[in-house]
Structure 1
């Protein structure tokens, strides 16, 4: 697992994860990016979104 994944998995604050996700999403509009770079960004956004979902579900578990 790379540094990004380790860091995201260490964050337990949903608000912080949402902030990170928005920062990552802002990068995708850069016209200098090639499709591989965009795919990496999309992958990171998806990973952060999955982490947010997991945390929300665990906070609502009975």
Structure 2
């Protein structure tokens, strides 16, 4: 299953990498990609969206699920 969340605050490639690593650290996530220009992150797997949101927010970004 694939989910897309809106992520505010990514300004560079390092930001994208930080968001991707935060998402990949969530149990049930099999893949994650972030796109700062689209302000989105795509997540593959069966993780609950609330846990994904919390992981990204803990990394310092604002999420609109």
TM-score normalised according to structure 1 size = 0.35
**Relative to total residues, which structure has the larger helix share, 1 or 2?**
1
| Structure (1 or 2) with the larger CA radius of gyration | 1
TM-score normalised according to structure 2 size = 0.34
